[in-house]
Amino acid sequence: MSRAAACLILLASSPAWAAAKPALPEAAQVLEAALAGPAVSFEATAYVKLGKARSKKAMVRCSPSSEHAASCRREFPGAKAGAGFITATDGAKEWAFDKALNRVWEGPASAPSRSLAQEAQARYRVSLSTGGKVAGRLTWRLELQPRSPAALGRRLWVDREHGLILKDEAVLPDGKVALRTRFSKVTFGVRHDPALFRPEPVAGAGRSGRLSPGPEETARIGSEAGFEPRFPSWLPSGFVFAGADLLPYKDKKIVHCRYSDGAVALSLFQSPPRAKLDLGAKERREVRLASGLGFVSWTEDAGVLGWSSGETRLVLVAPMGLETLSAVAESVR
């Protein structure tokens, strides 16, 4: 083989001749843009999967706003034709409707006291890599490793062009995925009628507050529990107050407030100071919250965050990262 031919073979096999890899943006910038919400209107088909349960299909539609949070609507199909559970926000108010219960929830679309991006930077070590395609679109993959070994981690696949989270995984400390939300199809630039995001009249439906029960129900819970219950003033978009149970504990009661977004459950337990709540939690670690010290732990399918306020012990349980659980905890009053 001639020297010229050998040089040509060497050059052809050189990485310089291969397709150039995209330059990686700053992980912090991608994370901040992703958690800020959609920058362009879209329509998508999504699937939500809890642990080993079957995926639930949803239709998602959103429009950005320069004045407030984005307007979004999510619909889970019902057992029969049509939507079974709808949540919608116009950026100022949130509205939800459960067709099976014929119940409507309404309330303000609240914002957390701290930016979720700032909270995530404080709670995780963030790294970025190329993420392949999701819903046929190129993504950046963000790996959010929790600074506390007892907290859930997150993996985000973010659309490179528009900064939208196309796939989101909440990962337990043992590596299992507790919750996965994935877009299978997405179309950007869709124009939506603003009425789509506003409350719809539902004849004969019962009505409830989005974040807490009414005054009479609150008084009843407090009377039976022996202490005044507390409720969050912020929840992730789509979540509504689904009910409260009173669990017996010696001569007192533990209050279990249940919240749902139609697919995922969030629990807030409230108890007397020395009550022990057996959740099967593992690897308890101390964690600092804005209101003081608390603890973080996990179960086989969710994250756990606990703290004390006055004479009340409070525990949150949900398949969510510590930045979201902390935002909920700091809003409880």
**Are 193 and 261 in a shared domain?**
no
**Span 165-182, mean pLDDT?**
98
Among 72, 14, 19, smallest CA distance to 43 is for 72
Q: Is the pLDDT of residue 2 over 60?
A: no
pLDDT bucket at 19, cuts 50 / 70 / 90:
low
pLDDT bucket at 81, cuts 50 / 70 / 90:
low
Q: How far apart are CA 29 and CA 26, in angstroms?
A: 5
pLDDT bucket at 66, cuts 50 / 70 / 90:
confident
Q: Is the pLDDT of residue 5 over 70?
A: no
Q: Is the pLDDT of residue 90 over 60?
A: yes
The answer to whether residue 123 is domain-embedded is yes
CB-based contacts of 128: which residues, under 8 Å, 6+ apart?
A: 24, 25, 26, 27, 30, 140, 141, 142, 143
Q: What is the CATH number of the domain that holds 122?
A: 2.50.20.10
Per-residue model confidence as pLDDT tens digits over 121-143 = 999 999 999 999 999 999 999 99
**Are 134 and 77 in a shared domain?**
yes
The answer to whether residue 21 is domain-embedded is no
Q: How far apart are CA 123 and CA 118, in angstroms?
A: 9
Q: How far apart are CA 203 and CA 88, in angstroms?
A: 18
pLDDT of residue 6: 47
pLDDT of residue 216: 95
Of 197, 222, 250, the last residue of a domain is 197
Q: How far apart are CA 313 and CA 277, in angstroms?
A: 10
The answer to whether residue 5 is domain-embedded is no
Q: In what order do the strands lie in the sheet with 292-298?
A: 240-249, 252-260, 265-271, 312-318, 303-309, 292-298, 282-289
Q: Is 44 exposed, middle or buried (0-12, 13-18, 19+ CB in 10 A)?
A: buried
Of 153, 168, 197, the last residue of a domain is 197
Strands 265-271 and 252-260: antiparallel
The answer to whether residue 18 is domain-embedded is no
Structural contact between residues 305 and 325, judged by C-beta atoms closer than 8 angstroms: yes
191 dihedral zone (left: phi>0; alpha: psi -120 to 50; beta): beta
Q: Which residue has the higher pLDDT, 247 or 68?
A: 247
Of 162, 197, 232, the last residue of a domain is 197
pLDDT of residue 27: 97
Token pair 């606990």: residue: 306
**Are 78 and 153 in a shared domain?**
yes
**Span 3-30, mean pLDDT?**
63
Per the structure, the complete domain to which residue 90 belongs is given by 27-197
**Are 113 and 225 in a shared domain?**
no
Q: What is the CATH number of the domain that holds 291?
A: 3.30.200.100
**Span 303-330, mean pLDDT?**
94
Structural contact between residues 331 and 307, judged by C-beta atoms closer than 8 angstroms: no
**Are 213 and 151 in a shared domain?**
no
The answer to whether residue 221 is domain-embedded is yes
**Are 135 and 48 in a shared domain?**
yes
CA angle (42, 45, 51) in 5-degree steps: 125
CB-based contacts of 203: which residues, under 8 Å, 6+ apart?
A: none
**Are 125 and 216 in a shared domain?**
no
**Are 145 and 238 in a shared domain?**
no
pLDDT of residue 272: 87
**Are 236 and 162 in a shared domain?**
no
pLDDT of residue 9: 44
Q: What percent of the chain has pLDDT over 70?
A: 92
Per-residue model confidence as pLDDT tens digits over 269-280 = 999 877 888 888
Q: Is the pLDDT of residue 13 over 80?
A: no
Average pLDDT over the chain, rounded to whole? 91
pLDDT of residue 20: 62
- Per the structure, the count of domains in the chain is 2
Q: Is the pLDDT of residue 86 over 60?
A: yes
Q: DSSP characters for 224-242?
A: HHTS----BS---TT-EEE
The answer to whether residue 156 is domain-embedded is yes
**Are 166 and 295 in a shared domain?**
no
Q: Which of 80-84, 191-195, 312-316, 318-322 has the lowest mean pLDDT?
A: 80-84
CB-based contacts of 233: which residues, under 8 Å, 6+ apart?
A: 110, 211, 331, 332, 333
**Are 178 and 252 in a shared domain?**
no
**Are 116 and 171 in a shared domain?**
yes
The answer to whether residue 16 is domain-embedded is no
Q: Is the pLDDT of residue 4 over 70?
A: no
Among 231, 312, 309, 239, smallest CA distance to 277 is for 312
**Span 245-263, mean pLDDT?**
93
Q: Is the pLDDT of residue 12 over 70?
A: no
Can you give the pTM of this predicted structure?
0.90
Q: Is the pLDDT of residue 18 over 70?
A: no
The answer to whether residue 97 is domain-embedded is yes
